[in-house]
Amino acid sequence: MEEDDDSDDDACCPRSPVTLGPSPSIGHEHGLARLLKNNRKWSKAIRERQPDFFEKGSKGQQPKVFWIGCSDSRVPENELLQLAPGEVFTHRNIANVVVSTDLNCLSVLQYAVDVLKVEHVVVCGHYGCGGVAAALGDQSYGLIDHWLANIKEVKHQHLLNLEKIRDQEDRCRALVEINCRNSVLTVAKSPIIRAAWERGQSIEVIGMVYDIQRGLLSELGYHVSNADDLACHLKVNSNELFEARKECAELQKL
Ligand SMILES: [Zn+2]
């Protein structure tokens, strides 16, 4: 088989006739042939630009950024950050929620901090987040309600201020932001980050939000680089938080 041949047939062909037989669904029912063809083209284009790219990558990864984002398909971290494979370590779930009992997320965090020594942990929320919108309402969605309960808890902590926002879309945007803040603080409070700071490792936790309508990423002002920063953020009450948000919106209008 010629590896660089980008025909549909090639994309369906197994690399080894013994171990990698094609799935019966490939190429027809789910358009998987197109995905494999795209992959061949992508691999070829990268090797044309940088022949040793994959060989170098196979020797290890040294990402500086650990990204915790939403699973939403419209928020692809590598693409919107314009980073190549190997440059961003990632954990994604519905509505970028970080919970101190989530062993999956914490294991990824520990690997990122202790082994990869990332320098930036970016928690990224996004406007138009379906998970946050669902948590804002009262409708039940089944199993996922258990996950959304984490966001609902944040909502209840800030309910008085959220209810002052009459516009439903703006209220949802506010919950996207404070849900992101909550995840930032949960990461920063974790024993993993605290231990890193205590041993002098330089690592910051940053809250960002992605605007799907404009394709733009913005900082949210939740930036935690050490235990003192964390203590300051933890002292901020709900009224102060929403006041700061209002001031920020006014400044953006200028
Ligand atoms: Zn989302």
The per-residue pLDDT for 6 is 47
Q: Are residues 31 and 73 both part of a single domain?
A: no
Structure tokens at 63: 């990402």
The answer to whether the annotation marks 223 as part of a ligand binding site is no
User: CATH number, domain at 77?
Assistant: 3.40.1050.10
- What is the domain range of residue 33? 1-60
Is residue 74 among the annotated active site residues? yes
The per-residue pLDDT for 17 is 47
Structure tokens at 61: 């990864």
Q: Are residues 118 and 27 both part of a single domain?
A: no
The per-residue pLDDT for 246 is 85
Is residue 49 among the annotated active site residues? no
Is residue 72 among the annotated active site residues? yes
The three-point CA angle 53-57-61 to 5° equals: 140
Walk along the chain (254 residues) and give the pLDDT tens digit of each residue: 344 444 444 444 444 445 455 555 554 445 899 999 999 999 999 999 999 999 999 999 999 999 999 999 999 999 999 999 999 999 999 999 999 999 999 999 999 999 999 999 999 999 999 999 999 999 999 999 999 999 999 999 999 999 999 999 999 999 999 999 999 999 999 999 999 999 999 999 999 999 999 999 999 999 999 999 999 999 999 999 999 988 887 776 66
The answer to whether the annotation marks 72 as part of a ligand binding site is yes
Q: Among residues 25, 42, 60, which one ends one of the domains? A: 60
The three-point CA angle 148-154-135 to 5° equals: 35
SS3 content of the chain, % helix, strand, coil (to 5): 50, 15, 35
Total domain count for the chain? 2
Q: Are residues 93 and 110 both part of a single domain?
A: yes
pLDDT tens-place string over residues 131-181: 999 999 999 999 999 999 999 999 999 999 999 999 999 999 999 999 999
Contact 122, 183 (CB under 8 A): no
Q: Ligand 1 centre from 92 Cα, in Å?
A: 10
Q: Which amino acid is at 151?
A: I
Rounded to two decimals, what is the model's pTM?
Answer: 0.88
Q: Are residues 51 and 82 both part of a single domain?
A: no
